[in-house]
Structure formats: C-alpha cells, structure tokens
Structure 1
Amino acid sequence: MENFRKESDLLGELNVPINAYYGVQTQRAIDNFKISGQLLSSYPEFIKGLAFVKKAAAKTNYELGLLDEDLYFKIAEACDEILLGKLHEQFPVDMIQGGAGTSINMNANEVIANRVLEKLGKNKGEYEFCSPNDHINLSQSTNDAYPTAIKMGLLQMNATLVQKLESIVVAFREKGKQFHDVIKMGRTQLQDAVPMTMGQEFEAFAATLEEDISKLNNNANLFVEVNMGATAIGTGINAPVGYATLCAKNLAEITGYPVVSAPDLVEATPDTGSYVIYSSAMKRLAVKLSKICNDLRLLSSGPRAGLSEINLPPMQPGSSIMPGKVNPVIPEVVNQVCFKVIGNDLTVTFAAEAGQLQLNVMEPVLSHAIMENIHFLCNALDTLRDKCVVGITANKEVCLNMVKHSIGIVTALNPYIGYKQSTKIAKEALETGKSVYNLVLEQSLLSQEKLDEILDPVNMLKPHNK
C-alpha cells in the first residue's frame, strides 16, 4: 500500500493515491459517481471559478482577522497556480453527482490545502497545519461557494461563446456582401414568393445571430450577483459580520467582474433564476442556428434535382452505396448540436424547478447542462464557420433562371393591374406553362416598356414609388 496514504472522514478511513492533491472526500466522490464520464477537469473555467472563490474567501478571512498572513499568502499562491492552469488534472469528480455540489467544493478545498501543505514543507494529508474545512472552506458552505464558482465559470465561458458567435456573424456578413448581386427567388411555405438577392438572405442570417450577442451578455450579467457569506441557508451562520459584502468586493477585484452581494441571501441561496434565463438565451440561439442550417441544406439540395442555388464545401464522401454523393454534413452536425442544446435547456428547467425549501440540490446537473451547451455551441459555431460558411459559393445562373421562370413575380403587378387580374394571370401561367411576361403582353394589360420596368428583378428588391 506504499502507493496510497490513509485519510479519514465521517465514514472512516479510505486509501487515497499518495501523490494526489485531492483527499478522502474527493476519493469517495470518484468511487460513488461514475455517471456522465465528464469530469470537472473537462471544464477549466469552472475550476478557475473555484480558485477565484477560494482566493477571495481567503483574502476576506485574512482581512477580518481569521487567517494568519503566511497561510493566507500560501492559499492565494495555490489559487493563482490553479488560475494559471496548473493542477487541473487533480479535479477528477464527475460533473453529475449527489450532494448539491459538496464533492466539487471539497475537491477544491482538498487540492488547495494539500498544495499549501507542500509549500509549508509538510506532507499531503497533514491537515492539522492546513485543513480543507477549517482553513480553505473557512466562513463558507458548499451552498454559497459552489454556486458562486459556477457563476464565475459561466462568465468566462460566455465570453468565449460570444466571441465565437461574433466570428460567424462576420462570416455570414461577408457572404452577404459577396452575393449582393445574385438575384434569386424568395420563398414562403416552400413556395415561390418574390425576388430578393442572395446577399439579403445571408445578411439576414448575420443579423438574426447578431441579435443573440446582446441577449447572451445581458443574461450572463445576472451571474455577478452572488451569495458568498450566506453559508448554509442564507442566514450567514459561521461567517463574521461584514463577510458577505467584503467577499463580494474582493471577488470583484480578483476576477474583474462587477460582482455584488445579493440583497437577500436567504432568497439567493436556493434561487436558480439566472441559470434558467441564460439557458433560455442559448436555446434561442440554437433554434435560430438550426433554422439557418436547415436553409443551407435546402438551398444546396441537388445537385441536379434540388434547388442547387448554393454549393457547400464538399467535406467527405456521402454514401457507401451511391457513388459521387456528397452530403451537407456540417449543417447536419450543427442541427444535432442544436437539438442537444434544446434538450439540455429542458434539463435546466426541471432541475431549477426541483429546488426545495432553502436549497436546490440539483445544481450539479443544471450547471453541467449549461456548460455542456456552451462547449457544444462553441465547437459547432467554429465548425460551421470554418468548414462551411466561408467556402459557400453561389450558382448565379441557376438563381436568375428560377426568377425568370417563376410565377411569383406576378406579385409586382398588383399595384398596376390589381390583385384580381394578377391572380388570373398567375393561374393561367400555371395551367398553360406560359410566362407571366408573355401573358400580360398578349392581353394588352401593360406596355412592353412598362412591363420590363416593373418585372426587372432589381426593381423588386426594395420599396419604391409606383
């Protein structure tokens, strides 16, 4: 057993790997929660959130006279190392767990304590010199430290998501400029509507996604309100007077976020409203993104028997039986990511609703669902941009030909010959196969010069006077 050290807790002794910075409670979580396979170490921003919280708590305890200077500085040093990306492999707890996040909080407490012990020249596990509970968790409970760490992690992750979103907005907007002169038919209910440019279509993709940047940021701003100092249920038991306000101030200084203490800590401790509304913003983004991918798949359908208005970059052979087939695999995979995001939002809703009395014990699955969604969306946005959007080309002649042969252009005649007469022309064109243009001239409804002006596709792209 030379590869292990013995540690003990309420339930007795347990072997812990001798070189591990985590301790007995983390080891119990490893043994108990083999659930998702997604570990805390998979989410570095969350680990950094824990380090932010523990550093701010230590600073507050030091300033209030509860920690001596040497111990405080060493705790802060250990937290800074974690913030630099060190020791992240020492966070092996499954993201989905029972206990309302206690295992994750204790994982952080134990790793920091054992790193401090090293700095003090002591052995791992000699907790009489630096205790995970009495020093690292001083003036805290899982019920305030854990949700605050989640929020600090989500603020970091949101910044990354927004950057990815901004990048694909730029890509769609560039395509909008590139396709500004490609005349095509717009469609409603999958039927011909009126002409537009492909540039307008792609600019609309950019605009609809751009709207979600402010939505994500505004909802993420709710994460700056924290319940540090609430301890177990919001009453602040075991925390000194002034701790909550001072800890929030210190956390703001350490993170650079405008962190504030919640006005009612009893209310804030079980409240998960900020998670619900942020998750809903991601669902909104997913719904829009999936619709865009549906459009890209439709517009590129073919190559001979579909719309074939655009070409997506070919990424891989599309069939094990049909030679030459290439499928729109990138929009397809992004569609599937969006379905996952929408499903995870429902998980967040159920988890938030499941709170009882002074605590919501379902925050592990709730936080995992949100963080997984951000991770998936970041990868999906990059993939869609780099492997699809930037390489899209337009089939300009195909698009123009559809406009010339479409009955939908008859809409432009309404102000000149009336809706009823336009309807007759449309019906006859459909039944006979004749063009709208020729039927109007045959029936002497307009002069050729006026008809050419009205049915010029360029004149149907924006409002103009009769």
Structure 2
Amino acid sequence: MRIENDSLGTMAIEDNILYGIQTSRAIDNFPICNSILNQYPSLIQGLAYVKAACAQANNQLGILESHKADAIYASCIDLINGNHHCAFAISMIQGGAGTSTNMNANEVIANLALLKLGHRPGQYHYLHPINDVNLSQSTNDAYPTAIRLGLLIEQPKLLASLTKLVASFKEKAKEFSDIHKVARTQLQDAVPMTLGQEFGGFAATLEDELKLIEQFSKLFHKINLGGTAVGTGINTESNYAELAIESLSQLTNIPFEQTHNLIAASSDMGDFVTYSSALKRLGIKLSKIANDLRLLSMGPRAGISEINLPAKQPGSSIMPGKVNPVIPEVVSQVAYQVAGFDSAICMAAEAGQLQLNAMEPLIAFNLFQSLALLTNTCEVFNKHCISGITANQARCKELFDNSLAMVTALNPFIGYEAASRIAKDAIATGLSVKHLVLKQGLLSEQTLDDVLTPEKLTQPA
C-alpha cells in the first residue's frame, strides 16, 4: 500500500494501482451507473492527446523539464494506443464538471510517467499529477476539449456504418426499379410509383445525414484550450494556448483552433446541443424508414405484403409460424432512446450557471452513447434487414392493377371533376378505372392505354 494525500486528508491505495487519491474518492462518491470511463476508449484517447499536447507546449515554454515532458508524452501515447484503460474506473455521470475524469487522467499519466522514470507510483515529488501533468490547464478547458476530440475519434465508425446502409438502399433501389406499385399518402392510395423509387428515397434521405453530421462535427474544431478556469487564461504563459493547440492539431491531424471567445466557451454547450440534434435527426429518419418497412411487409396474407423482410427469429410463443419484424422494431427503439438522450443534453446545457456548466459529464455520456447506439443500429439494420429484403412483385402488381392510383394521371385528359366521378364509381361498383373510362366514352382505348402506361405514370410526362 501507499499513502496519498489531498486537501481533504489521506488515503491508503494499493501500490500497483495507477490512479490516485482523487480518483479513489470519485469511485466511492459516484456509484451511479454501470457505464465506467474505461468503456469509452475514445474519450480516454482524447484526454491523452490533450495532456500530451499541453506537455509539449509547456516544455517549449521552458516551464516543464524535458525529462518530465518526455515521460508524460510517452505515457499519453500508451493510453492512445489502448493500454492501461482499466485504470479509468469512475462513473461517466459524476459531480464536479468533469474534475474527477480530468484527475483520473492526471493521476494515471503521472504514475505511468513515474514508472518510466524509474520511480514508484505515488512518488509525486518526482512528477506531480497537478503541478506537472495538469500544468497550464484546468478541468474547464482540458475536459471539454477532450470530449470534442473523443467524439471526433468515434464519429468515423458511425459514418462508415451509415455509408454501408445507404449503399444497401441504393442497391435495392436498382433491384426494384421496374416494380410498379401504389404510393400512399396519409395511408391512403395515392399515385403510381416504383418500389425502386421508394427505396431510392430512403437512400437519399439518409445520405443527407452523412453530410449534416460531418458538417456539424466541424464545430468541435474550435476549442477553449488555454482558457483554464473561466476563459481568462489564468496561470498560463501568453503564447501557451497557441502552442498547445498547434501541438494538438499536429498530434491528431485535426485542424483545431481557439474559439473566438473563451469566456463564452467555458459555459456554452451549444455545439454539443447542435451535434446531438443531428444524431437525433438521424435516429428519427431511421425509425421512420423502419416503420415504413414494417407497413410494407405487413402480412404475410392479410396485409400490404409488398416486400418480404428476412426472417430472423420465431415471433411468438403461442402463434406457430409467426415471424415478427424484429430488426425494424429495435431500430425504432434506438431512435426513441437517442431522442431521450438529446432531451437530457438540452436540459443539461440549459443548466449551466454563470461561467461554467457543471452538467457536462452527462452531456458527454449521452453523446457517446448516442454515437455507439446509432453505429451499431446502422450495422444491424443493414446486415440483418435491408440487404435481405425481397420484393413481392405479384402482390405489388395485384394492388397496382386494382387501385385508383392512375386516376390522377387522367386529370390532364378528362379533367378533375370527371376523374373524381370515375374514382367514386370505381369504389361503388368495384369496376376498374379503365373499364369505366371506356364505358363512359371519355377516352379511346388506344389513348387510355398510352396514358396509363406504367412507365409514364412514375415520371414527368
């Protein structure tokens, strides 16, 4: 055991543990949830990048000795490479505006550096978690910078997963391009379209989200590193912020720049709110598409049944042979959860008071969860649902041939009133639109066949 002390007293800590007294207190104080910091490696990497960049800047300024800076940097690289993450053992939800997370990083990096310098963990008179690792920093600029960086590290997984999903929808759009069907508005028969057009619409709307998420994530390129406690830059050298941000940009290949007003950035969570709204928007679109697929596959005998979803598992403990649309169902549930995370993020952002927002840990927790959930969901949606969808072409043709959808195409030829009368008569008598138009002598058979050619019904004439 080793004895460590802080402003509240002393504590005995196992000698082989890399974190220190403040992390130990946080573990005791915040047994809040099962989501522990070490389950979010990109956030740990973000913290490590920030600490490495700051150490380099402090060394350039001559206020951190080279042997300490080198040891800190090497320890940060260990964390960036995925080592020692088990030492980050505190709850993601915590009081203190992220101070416990920042100190967890400071203590782990300090003790790793001490080992590299030939000392034992806890011998902080050789290299100190605050005096050296946290030099020229505050939790209030290091932590939000690390969150932004962690999200940028994590985001490519979502974009890659979503890109594959879009590609699958595009493939289905081509595959179904010649299958004519009835479009529906307000769940009622509308006009003719192709199944390929419907799936092409799914692809296009999700492709918009790829661009939007990437665009909004560029808000994270502006950081408040160097602002320290409230944005005044207290306890830093005059050109420290410039050096630290330049170093961070070089380490990560991300073009970071200092935000235009450090005071505002210390408490303003607007960038996180905007980014969360983009994730929620993606979730909502995924759920809308999932619900459409559930409707289109409804049946198999007593519903729309225009498409067939791949059967993934038996659907009932009492109804033999029933297969449920389990993948679209889980997609919608994820969307609802992401919307809930977004609501919590908005509330936490509003709860900032004066020069700091103490609720930032909840914001970080929910953003990382939303990213992970949406990434996994896009993968599952693609692999277990979209790629295996088949068209029930006979059913599409049956519904198309017996629908009133082509009545709209007759408007330019017989007028709206006559077309409305034909539609009402068809409903009342059960006769086809074509039969009634010919019977009433409104168009010749040749003209009618030309007007009602399926290809002409699904594109501008």
Please report the TM-score for the alignment, with normalisation by the length of structure 2.
Answer: 0.99
Q: Which residue does 1:268 correspond to in 2?
A: 265
Secondary structure of the residue aligned to 2:442 is coil
- The answer to whether structure 1 residue 342 and structure 2 residue 339 are counterparts is yes
1:94 matched residue in structure 2: 91
Distance in 1 (alpha carbons) for counterparts of 2:341 and 2:456: 46
Q: Distance in 1 between matches of 2:38 and 2:306?
A: 45
Q: What letter corresponds to residue 387 of structure 2 in structure 1?
A: V
1:201 maps to 198
For 1:183-332, what aligned pairs fall within 5 Å after superposition?
A: 183-332=180-329
| SS of 2:74 mapped into structure 1 | helix
Whole-angstrom CA distance in 2 between matches of 1:16 and 1:276: 39
Alignment of 1:65-104 (within 5 A): 65-104=62-101
Any unmatched runs of 5+ in structure 2? none
Q: Following the alignment from structure 2 to structure 1, what is the Cα–Cα distance between the partners of residues 392 and 154?
A: 39
Matched, 1:59 2:80: no
Query: How far apart in 2 are the matches of 1:86 and 1:342?
Result: 34
Deviation sequence 1:278-329 (CA, Å, 0-9, x none): 1111111111111000001001110000110111111110001110000000
Q: CA deviation at 1:144?
A: 0.5
Q: Spell out, residue by residue over 1:54-79, the C-alpha distance to the aligned partner (whole angstroms, 9 max, x if none).
A: 00000000000011111111111111
Query: Identity rate of aligned residues, in percent?
Result: 52
Tell me which amino acid in the other structure corresponds to 1:159: P
Equivalent position amino acid for 1:319 in 2: S
Is 1:433 paired with 2:430?
yes
**Which deviates more, 266-275 or 290-299?**
266-275
Task: Tell whether 2:142 aligns with 1:120.
Answer: no
1:409 is matched with 406
Distance between the aligned counterparts of 1:395 and 1:5, measured in 2? 70
CA distance in 1, matches of 2:321, 2:156: 42
Shift of 1:166: 1.0
Please name the residue that 1:165 is paired with: 162
Could you tell me which residue of structure 1 aligns to residue 348 of structure 2? 351
State the shift of 1:5 in Å.
2.8
How far is the alpha carbon of 1:6 from its aligned partner?
A: 2.4
Q: Within 1, Cα distance between the matches of 2:85 and 2:115?
A: 17
CA distance in 2, matches of 1:169, 1:16: 51
Counterpart-to-counterpart distance in 2, 1:391 and 1:14: 58
The 4+ residue runs of structure 1 with deviation greater than 6 A are: none
Determine which of 37, 50, 55 is the counterpart of 2:47: 50
Q: CA deviation at 1:453?
A: 1.1
SS in 2 for 1:194: strand
CA distance in 1, matches of 2:153, 2:120: 34
1:272 maps to amino acid: M
* Alignment partners' CA distance in 1, 2:445 and 2:13: 90
Between the two proteins, the alignment pairs up a number of residues equal to 461
Q: Do residues 400 (structure 1) and 397 (structure 2) align?
A: yes
Taking the aligned partners of 2:87 and 2:176, their CA distance within structure 1 comes to: 51
Post-superposition CA distance 1:311-352 (Å, at most 9, x none): 111111000111000000000001000000111111111111
Following superposition, the deviation at residue 241 of structure 1 comes to 1.1
With normalisation by structure 1, the TM-score equals 0.98
CA distance in 1, matches of 2:284, 2:353: 31
Amino acid at match of 1:399: C
Identify the match of residue 174 of structure 1 among 171, 174, 189.
Answer: 171
Unpaired runs of at least 5, structure 1: none
Letter in 2 for 1:426: A
Displacement of 1:408 in angstroms is 1.9
